[in-house]
Amino acid sequence: MRENQQTQNSSPLKKRKVIKMAQGKEVIEGAGVRLKRVIGNNELEDVDPFLLLDEFRSDKPDDYIAGFPTHPHRGFETVTYMIEGFMEHKDSTGRSGVLKPGGAQWMTAGSGILHSEIPKQKEGFLWGFQLWVNLPADKKMTDPRYQNIEPEDIPELRTDDGVVIKVIAGKVSDTTGPVTGIETDPLYIDVTLPPKCVFTQKVQKGHSAIVYMIDGAGLLDDENNMKVGAMTGSLALFGEGDYIDVSAVDKPARFLMLSARPLNEPVTRYGPFVMNTKDQIEKAFDDYRSGKLVSATP
Ligand code: MN
């Protein structure tokens, strides 16, 4: 395969290569939820602006039933995407709802929110993801808000060779996802690739980009132009370039592809708060303890 493809104006398009592979680590979070932390562990601290990526995936109620009772957030965004099962959320803005299979919630915690996230099922399969996306320094104290996305509002593209692409945020061909107005201009897609197919996606220059294999296995290109296998549960971090290729060989591959504009700002994180300085973290704790987190103004 040619390394560079030529566009009409002759500027070469560069394929992004894998610069790091990582595996998730088992952690217990919330009131006792067993999950896999893919970003935000000691192997992969963050992928600017992504601060955390958790996968919860179990058919054992003991692994998830306790959920995440009321807790605070400040300074970033939490993004929940469900593949199977139901998750109920309630928050200090007075809103609540149930995320359904295929649904998503993009919550901008901003200056502060208190919320709970509890599985709305006593048994059965629960499978979903939570991503944390950082906010720029001057938007950390923005008003909290969220976008609830029903499963039917997530466009699903099908290519001639059977690739299925769900677009949660960002743009694939002429299809734009329903999540809008996010500071870091993210792409969040869920791709199912039949055997012997290749998927190519343009990624904005300068943006961080990852692929997280959630089912099956795929092949990616590394810096030595070798093919590297990404099995279920593997995360690939890509270097600079214009587009990413993922191919499936003898079995299907299902993966999340995420990209966003890095902030290149100092990150100071502690538990549910992600700010720029230690003083701001202490202020967040003070506000939380004194009941002022939710009403805080910049
Ligand atoms: Mn939360």
- 93-107: pLDDT as tens digits: 888 999 999 999 999
Per the CB < 8 A criterion, the answer to whether 111 and 143 are in contact is: yes
Residue 12 has what pLDDT?
A: 87
Across 100-120, average pLDDT: 96
Residue 273 falls inside a structural domain: yes
Ligand 1 center from residue 192 Cα (angstroms): 28
Is residue 138 in a domain? yes
Give the pLDDT band of residue 261 (cuts 50, 70, 90).
very high
Report whether 247 contacts 201 (CB < 8 A).
Answer: no
Q: Is residue 298 part of a domain?
A: no
Distance 78 CA to ligand 1 centre (A): 7
pLDDT at 295: 80
Is residue 213 within 8 Å of residue 230, measured between CB atoms? yes
pLDDT digits (tens, 9 = 90+) for 47-70: 999 999 999 999 999 999 999 999
Task: Give residue 71 CA to ligand 1 midpoint distance, Å.
Answer: 6
CATH number at residue 122: 2.60.120.10
CA of 115 to the centre of ligand 1 (A): 6
Residue 27 lies in a domain: yes
Neighbour tally for 148: CB within 10 Å: 17
The answer, yes or no, to whether residue 82 has pLDDT greater than 60, is: yes
Average pLDDT over residues 4-28: 83
What is the rounded distance in angstroms from the CA atom of residue 33 to the CA atom of residue 61?
A: 10
The domain of 186 spans 18-289
When pLDDT is cut at 50, 70 and 90, the band that residue 297 belongs to is low
Residue 13 within a domain:
no
pLDDT at 1: 44
- The yes-or-no verdict on residue 2 having pLDDT over 50 is no
Alpha-carbon separation of residue 62 from 31, 58, 109, 126, 161 (angstroms): 11, 9, 28, 11, 40
Q: How far is the CA of 5 from the centre of ligand 1 (A)?
A: 43
Q: What is the mean pLDDT of the chain?
A: 94
Within 13 Å of residue 32, how many CA atoms lie on the same side as its CB? 6
Distance from Cα 187 to the centre of ligand 1, integer Å: 21
Mean pLDDT of 122-140: 98
Q: Taking residues 99-122, report their average pLDDT.
A: 96
Q: Is the peptide bond before 155 cis (omega within 30 degrees of 0)?
A: no
- pLDDT of 4 strictly over 60: no
Give the distance (Å) from ligand 1 centre to CA of residue 116.
Answer: 7
Please determine, for residue 8, whether its predicted confidence score (pLDDT) is greater than 80. Answer: no
The residue whose two tokens read 């694939």 is: 172
pLDDT at 246 over 60: yes
Say if 221 falls within a structural domain: yes
The answer to the question of residue 31 being in a domain is yes
CA of 80 to the centre of ligand 1 (A): 9
Compute the distance from residue 117 Cα to the ligand 1 centre, in Å. Answer: 7
- Give which of 72, 106, 100, 104 is closest to 86, Cα–Cα: 100
Q: How many domains, in total, are found in the chain? A: 1
- For residue 159, is pLDDT > 70? yes
Task: Say how many Å lie between the CA of residue 79 and the centre of ligand 1.
Answer: 9
Residue pair 248/218 in contact (Cβ under 8 Å)? The answer is: yes
Cα distance between residue 247 and residue 88, in whole Å: 36
CA of 156 to the centre of ligand 1 (A): 27
The answer to whether 98 and 128 are in contact (CB under 8 A) is no
Distance 288 CA to ligand 1 centre (A): 14
Considering the domain boundaries, does residue 1 fall inside one?
Answer: no
